[in-house]
């Protein structure tokens, strides 16, 4: 089975028959999120791998996942990933921290394509970046409650982790609000435990949060390093595709991207262009994929 990341464990995870069920290098990369936040991951992937095609599904019908019980997040996540794999992607990118926490192990056992997620790449980077061994993690309620980051940091016992749920950050980003007194006051309240703990590195454990780096940096101070799970995940995508020789031919025609939403495509398209840019053209309803 083509199981996955982290890349340093790739040889161990690939098994003894890497040719079995090998995906096509010309197939798109499948990226999944509960909404538009995962487009920050798609943006980072396209910046590093401009020749790759993207097939993205935002589960806006059921998202955001942050407030949902883990079992419900798992059910919705696997349903969307089933659709992506059935559509012929060569890799799955779980671009949602809540979904990674709820369904990563199931995904790696369930699919015969490599699976990249957002938690371990960010943990590796934060472990390398911290100078005093104190790291903060911010995320949705589901992500923080799951303990996924604490579990991942367990491999680095020298690190002390302080976690804080920031449930309203997603609402602000999706309303297009990334500055102002109300957001600043909220950020000060959310981030106070990290300041008290004296962290020198903060993992942005939600794909919406890169759009809030200004206010987060203002509260935490210039001496604190912010680690974007989106950027670190894109690096893993690059490494895994290179290692498995699945990079799309650079001489192939220009890639075509496909963006789908399980809910109303119009607000997804409008907000998606803010996250990703002009690459988000027409957005299809996920139910219409078979007819597209």
Catalytic residues: 96, 206
Which one, of 219, 224, 218, lies nearest residue 200 by Cα?
A: 224
Rounded Cα distance between 203 and 222, Å, is 15
245 in Cβ contact with 138 (< 8 Å): no
205 in Cβ contact with 180 (< 8 Å): no
Beta-bridge partner residues of 163 = 137
Give residue 133's Cα distance to chain centre: 24
Rounded Cα distance between 45 and 231, Å, is 8
222 CB-contact burial (10 Å; exposed 0-12 / middle 13-18 / buried 19+): exposed
Q: Is the peptide bond before 111 cis (omega within 30 degrees of 0)?
A: no
């Amino acid at each position: 089975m083509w199981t996955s990341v982290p890349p340093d464990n790739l040889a161990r995870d690939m098994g003894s028959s890497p040719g079995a069920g090998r995906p096509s290098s010309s197939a798109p990369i499948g990226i999944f999120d509960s909404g538009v936040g995962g487009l920050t991951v798609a943006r980072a992937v396209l910046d590093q791998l401009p020749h790759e095609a993207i097939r993205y599904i935002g589960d806006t019908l059921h998202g955001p996942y942050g407030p949902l019980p883990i079992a419900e997040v798992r059910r919705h996540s696997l349903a969307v990933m089933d659709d992506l794999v059935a559509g012929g992607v060569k890799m799955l990118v779980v671009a949602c921290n809540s979904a990674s926490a709820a369904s990563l192990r199931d995904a790696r056992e369930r699919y015969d394509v490599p699976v990249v997620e957002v938690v371990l790449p960010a943990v590796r980077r934060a472990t390398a970046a911290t100078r005093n061994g104190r790291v903060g993690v911010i995320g949705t309620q589901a992500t923080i409650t799951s303990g996924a980051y604490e579990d991942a940091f367990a491999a680095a016992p020298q690190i002390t982790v302080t976690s804080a749920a920031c449930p309203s950050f997603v609402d602000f980003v999706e309303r297009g609000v990334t500055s102002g007194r109300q957001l600043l006051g909220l950020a000060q309240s959310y981030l106070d435990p990290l300041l008290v703990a004296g962290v020198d590195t903060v993992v942005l454990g939600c794909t919406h949060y890169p759009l809030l780096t200004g206010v987060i940096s203002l509260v935490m101070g210039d001496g604190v390093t912010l680690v974007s799970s989106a950027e670190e995940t894109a690096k893993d995508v690059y490494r895994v595709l290179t290692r498995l020789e699945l990079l799309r031919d650079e001489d192939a025609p220009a890639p075509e991207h496909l963006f789908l939403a399980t809910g109303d495509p119009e607000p997804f398209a409008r907000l998606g262009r803010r996250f990703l840019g002009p690459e988000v053209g027409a957005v299809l309803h996920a139910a219409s994929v078979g007819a597209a």
